[in-house]
Structures are given as structure tokens and as C-alpha cells.
Amino acid sequence: MLEIKNVSKVYNPEKSKAVHALKSINLKLRAGELVGILGKSGSGKSTLLNIIAGLDKPSEGEVKIDDINLESCTDREMADTRKDKIGFIFQDFQLMDHLTVTENVELGLAMEDIDRREKRRRCELVLTKVGLKEHLEHKPSELSGGQKQRVAVARALVKQPDIIVADEPTGALDTKTTDEIVNLLKEIAGAGKLVIVVTHDEDFKKHATRVVELKDGAVIEDSVRKSTTFDIQNSNEDRTEQGKQKTPRTFDINAAFKLSFKRLLEKKWRYFLVSISMIIGICSLSLAFGISSGIKSYTEYAKERVIDSKKLTFTQEGQMKSKDYFAIRENKKVNLIQDEYTLDSKIVTSRGQVDYKTKSIIQDEYKGEYTTPEIVHGNLPKDGENEIAFSEDLAKKIAGEKSIDGLIGQEIVTKFLAKDPLKNYPSRWDEQKLKIVGITKKSLVGDDYAYTSYEKQKEIVRRSRFISKGEDIPTNSYSVYLKDSKFIGDIDSKFGSKYIIVKPSDLLKDLTQMFKNYNILVLSGAALILFISALMIGIILFISVLERQREIGLFIAIGGTRADIKKIFITEGILLGGFASGAGVLISILGLAIINPITMKSMGYGLYMPTATTLLGALIFGVTISLISSLMPANSASKLLPIDLLRRN
């Protein structure tokens, strides 16, 4: 079943001092043999074992396992051969400290397409056979040296291979434990397996059915000891094992994630510190996405309830004349033109003075056609009435500890100042007694507003500026109400050369640009932080590769391909990114309790609006970054030579 033909191995053949590790080795080994390969250090026995196992390649000659020429195998075919036909037992056990005994043995089936329950059943069965039934959930650190070696034997046996190769399996054990392991190897050979043991222990000769002794890379003895040859057992179970069909290859992705998760738990503080930067970056990214969504929502809200989509403001440097009024008013697309004013205002309450701005609202007959302040309590002031409506924030300042509902119907004395921006006419504070009829929602960032009727506002302006009732109020601005918002472009084209025209879209431009600039700043910071975190994840995974080189070698030995090795480190990166991104997203959700109260106070609108889409997008982005960061370390790990990996401490 195993044929070695003219195998030679030369290290550094291009150099003058080439090392001839093996010289024309020829062997034919059969099932049921317990073969001892003996020799002093440097005799070539470990090199021969590695070539038999496909971990190293001969310089000349060939190795065949059941007519499979290992020399002609691709990486995938060689991995399949190790998966299906070869089981490894190592001198230093090669157990994963963070896995239980059962989980360590399950690694032997990591490449097999077998149901999880069946894997667990097989592992428990083989562990019972090797005398570890009571230690299934123990960690390697809780076992003796002999018990650890039994776990290594169980891991080699669980996939029911045809060949068991053992490299100094008793080298680190005491005499009693050595005898136990040797007897176990005898049983395995007796069950019909080819067991090949590399050892420097001369006492092993009395147990082996065949002894191959090497010296300076050549075979000096190949003796079959028939007196100790084992009979191949033919129990039903053993026949089942010998007739085992090759199972499809699959490195269970769940197993990869499980290994990576346990690795993260083992090094939790290291990975936590590394992930802090990603948590901050993803949190910033989620905040930026949520605020961007909020800006868009606020813009739509303002267009519907605050900014009149059919209103334009015409302004010029000098005073508007009658001809300006009529030129604009005569246009058939214009419905209404008004000179509107904003007044400085103040109220003295028992708690102190409250300062605010007062605006006029459109005349009653147009209220249903154009945007008016949104009422929370009461109603808007009516034409010809001494009435006023306050925004919620203003109402709270006036009401103090009392409910703002109680202000409705009360009369209040307030003072108004209408400054003349054109000619600096003298002005005075005009005192008015007005009835509070309504409470409105806060409408824009900045000042709090109160509202009076259009005619009442003009009356106050005249009184404040000492202008008689029939006299025009000097102004450089008109509010122009169009019949339809679709006429904005036409009006702008017609009058834009003579007047400065402020369109509805212009009113939110500065505000939204401010938030966009803030968002760009946050996104830039997030990008920088995420770039740094990507580097840190890459570095920590490179360190992980260095720390786990023997583990990588083990995976190759049990049948793993380069692609399987990549999966281990890629899943580790994905898990790290997933946990960090998830934490960042959760922290960003807490922003609802911090950001929105601030924006509600300043602009009456919760500006942070994270959605499932934006949060999921931030999460996926973080995981993707971690995935990309893990590719180079994973690729580096997959290119390491197994023969070097298994030698390293």
C-alpha cells in the first residue's frame, strides 16, 4: 500500500556544501505493519517521514500510496490524500490549548463532509477507545503528557486513515506512559493500519513488526520480525473502517468560525484594544449616515411646513418704488405681493425679559394656499385683530413652570422695534397689548418667532417709525407669492437681472451646507480612523500567523489546503470586524438620546435619523474592511511550508 522508490533528498543542491539527507531509499510497506524507522539525529528519519506524509518532496524518486504518485499530485490532491489516507501523531502533541479534548479530536474531521452530530459521535467513540472517556470536555492544560498523546492518537484515528505516521510519539513521555502509547500503536496496527513510527529509541525494535534503520541518509537495515507480526483483525467495525469510502472535501465554515471565535476569546483583551479604533470609526460612520439621512428628512420637512415652495423674496440695494411693485404685480404668474417685516420684540415677565423676533403671516384669504406656521395649540392670528401666536420655545419661556396651554386667551403687553435699514429713520419701542391665540412649532434654526397678522405688523412698523397711516413704508424687499412653484424659473429669468431673488431652495442652502460640511468632517475622521484600524487588524493578524505557525502546520497535516488555511484567518478577521462594527453601531444608536435633544432644542427637529439601512451599511462596511485587512495575513499563512511550520516552536 506504500511504496518508496529510489527516493533521495538534497538540501541546498545549488551550493557547494549540499546536504544529502536521503540516498536512494527503497521500501514497500503493507497494512498491518508496525514499522519502526530508527536512527541517530541527522540520519534522515524525520525527512523520510515528512516525504511519506507529503509534507516535503524528494529531490529524486517517487512515493506511492495505493498507486497514487505523490510527486504528480496537485496541492488539492495531496491535501485529499492526507485527509483520507494519512493520520499524524506528533511528539509534542500539537493540541490547541483553547479547545477541549473533543474539539481537538474534531479537528481531524474538519475537512470531512459529515454531520455535526456524527462528528461528535465518532470523536467520543475514538476517545473512549484510547481511554479518555472521562476527559471529553477537559482542556489540554488539564491533562498529563500521556493523556495529551492519547488525544493526538485519537485525532489521527478519528478520520479512519489507512496510514498512521508518528514522529517520536514517546520522546517526551516517561517509561510507564511510553509503554501505554506503544501498546496503543500495536492495537492500531493490529486493526489493519500501517503504522510508521520514527524514533531514536532502540527499545522500540522489540515491539515493531518491521525495523528500518537509517544512517547518513541510507537504509542500513530493513528487517521483518515475523515472530511479532500482528494478525489483521476482521471485526465488523474494522471491516467498515477498511471499506471506508472517500468523503467529499468540505472545510466546514462553521468550524472555521468556531475556531476563530475561541481564538478571540483566548486573546480577548488584545483584540478588544485593537478593535477600539474600529468601534470609534464605525460609530462615526453610523452617525454621519444618520445625520445625512436627517438632513434630507429635515429639508423635506422644511419644504412642506416651513419654507413656502411658491414664495420668492425680491431685494435690491435701494428703496423699492411703486413702479417696482406694479412691474412685479402685473405678471400673470404672480398671485400676491407684500412688503413683510421682522420686528425686534420683548416681553417683561415676573422671571425677567424675554427677547424674540416677530414676523407677519399671510392674509386670511391666502392661508390655505400658502405655507403658514404649524399650530400646536389654538389658532393663528386673524386679520384686523390684536392677536399674537408664539412658538413653543417662546411660550415655555413666558409660561415658566406653568403649562403653555394656559397661555391661550391671555392678554400680554409686548414692545416692538421696527428699524429702518434704508435711511436709518429714528424708531421707538411701540407698546402693544395683544391676545395670545396660538402656539406654533419652532420653524427654523436660530431666533424664536412670534406671529401677528400682516396688517397688524404694518401698523406696528408705522407707529415704531413715526410713519403716518396713509404713507408708504420704505422697504427694499418684497415677498412675491406665485400661482405655482413651476413658475419660479420663469420669474427668475425675467426679473433676475434687476433684483436679487431668494428662492425656496436658497433658504435652506446655508443651513444644509453647514450640516453637510460637518458630515464631511465626521466622514473624513471616520475614514482616517478606519484606515488606522484596518492597519492594526492586519498587523494583529500577521502576529496571529506568527503565533499559530504550528497550528497552521497541523491543519495542513490533517488534510487542509491553502484555501482552508486562508479561511481560518479570514473568518478571524470577519469576526473581529463584526464584533467591533456591531459595538460601533450600538453606540451610535445611543446618539439618539444625545444628538436629537440638542437639535430639537435649537431647531425643533431631531436631526439624527439612523435607519436600518444606514446601520446595516455601516456594519457591512466595517466587516468588509476587516475582511480586506485579513486577506494579506491569510494569504501569507497559506504560503508557509508545512515542513517548516511543524519544526517551529
Out of 47-51, 259-263, 637-641, give the one with best mean pLDDT.
47-51
Helix (H) or strand (E) holding 585, with range, is helix 562-589
pLDDT exceeds cutoff 90 at 453: yes
Contacts of 14 (CB under 8 A, 6+ apart): none
pLDDT band at 648, cuts 50/70/90? Answer: very low
Q: Write down the pLDDT at residue 412.
A: 93
Q: Are strands 218-224 and 163-167 parallel, antiparallel or unpaired?
A: unpaired
Calculate the dihedral angle through the C-alpha atoms of 14, 19, 25, 29, rounding to the nearest 10 degrees: -110
Spatial distance between the Cα atoms of 475 and 357, rounded to a whole number of angstroms: 18
Q: Write down the pLDDT at residue 248.
A: 65
Calculate the dihedral angle through the C-alpha atoms of 75, 79, 81, 83, rounding to the nearest 10 degrees: -170
- Express each pLDDT in 563-621 by its tens digit: 888 888 888 889 998 999 999 999 999 988 888 888 877 777 788 889 898 899 889 99
Higher pLDDT, 226 or 551: 551
- Is the CA virtual torsion 482, 484, 487, 489 positive or negative? positive
pLDDT exceeds cutoff 90 at 488: yes
Q: Which amino acid, 505?
A: S
How crowded is residue 319: how many other Cβ atoms within 10 Å of its Cβ?
12
Closest CA to 88 of 164, 192, 173: 164
CA angle 214, 215, 221 (to 5 degrees): 45
CA angle 340, 343, 349 (to 5 degrees): 145
Place of cell 475622521: 525
Q: Write down the pLDDT at residue 237.
A: 43
Residues of the chain above pLDDT 90, percent: 29
Q: Write down the pLDDT at residue 200.
A: 84
Out of 83-97, 415-429, 623-637, give the one with best mean pLDDT.
623-637
Contacts of 610 (CB under 8 A, 6+ apart): 286, 289, 290, 293, 588, 589, 591, 592
Q: Write down the pLDDT at residue 238.
A: 43
CB-based burial of residue 53 (10 Å sphere; 0-12 exposed, 13-18 middle, 19+ buried)?
A: buried
pLDDT band at 546, cuts 50/70/90? Answer: confident
Q: Write down the pLDDT at residue 204.
A: 86
pLDDT exceeds cutoff 90 at 73: no
Higher pLDDT, 296 or 139: 139
- Express each pLDDT in 139-161 by its tens digit: 999 999 889 988 989 999 998 89
- Express each pLDDT in 302-338 by its tens digit: 776 778 889 999 999 888 888 999 999 999 999 999 9
Closest CA to 96 of 86, 87, 85, 108: 108
Q: Write down the pLDDT at residue 587.
A: 93
Q: Write down the pLDDT at residue 16.
A: 67
Q: The C-alpha cell of 351 is what?
A: 422671571
Spatial distance between the Cα atoms of 146 and 173, rounded to a whole number of angstroms: 7
Helix (H) or strand (E) holding 354, with range, is strand 352-361
pLDDT band at 298, cuts 50/70/90? Answer: confident
Q: Is the pTM of this model over 0.75?
A: no
pLDDT band at 17, cuts 50/70/90? Answer: confident
Spatial distance between the Cα atoms of 550 and 544, rounded to a whole number of angstroms: 11
- Express each pLDDT in 201-251 by its tens digit: 888 888 899 999 999 889 998 888 754 445 544 433 443 444 455 666 666
Spatial distance between the Cα atoms of 508 and 514, rounded to a whole number of angstroms: 10
Q: Which amino acid, 524?
A: S
Evaluate whether 200 touches 36 at the Cβ level (below 8 Å). Answer: no
Q: Write down the pLDDT at residue 151.
A: 92
pLDDT exceeds cutoff 80 at 255: no
Closest CA to 454 of 370, 568, 513: 370
Averaged confidence pLDDT in the chain: 85
- Express each pLDDT in 349-377 by its tens digit: 888 899 999 999 999 999 888 988 889 89
Q: Write down the pLDDT at residue 249.
A: 66
